[in-house]
Amino acid sequence: MTTEITMYGAEWCGDCRRSKRFLDSHSVSYNYIDVEADASASEKVIEINGGMRSIPVIVFPDGSHLTEPSDNDLKAKLESLKIL
C-alpha cells in the first residue's frame, strides 16, 4: 500500500510546523504543499474545508483528511491506517 499523505500548509503556521515535526519525528513520508506558493493548493484547502482556509490539512491514502489535528489525533489516524 502506498502511504501517499499530502499536507497542505504554510511556513508561518504554527500548527503546520507542529504537524510536520510530528510526521518527521515518526519517519512518516508525506508530500508537503505550501498554500502560499501554490494558489491552486489554497483553493483545494478551501474546498476540503467547506469554505474555510484552515491549515494544516492532511489528506490520507484512504481519501479522508484532518484539519488542524492535534498530535494525538494525527497519531490515532496514522495508527488506524497502519502507517505508525
| Cα angle 45-61-75, degrees, rounded to a multiple of 5 | 85
| Tally of CB atoms within 10 A around 34 | 16
Q: CB-based contacts of 42: which residues, under 8 Å, 6+ apart? A: 35, 36, 53
pLDDT at 2: 55
Tens of pLDDT, residue by residue over 3-49, are 599 999 999 999 999 999 999 999 999 999 999 999 999 999 999 99
Considering the entire predicted model, what is its pTM?
0.93
- Structural domains in the chain plus CATH codes: 6-80 (3.40.30.10)
pLDDT at 78: 97
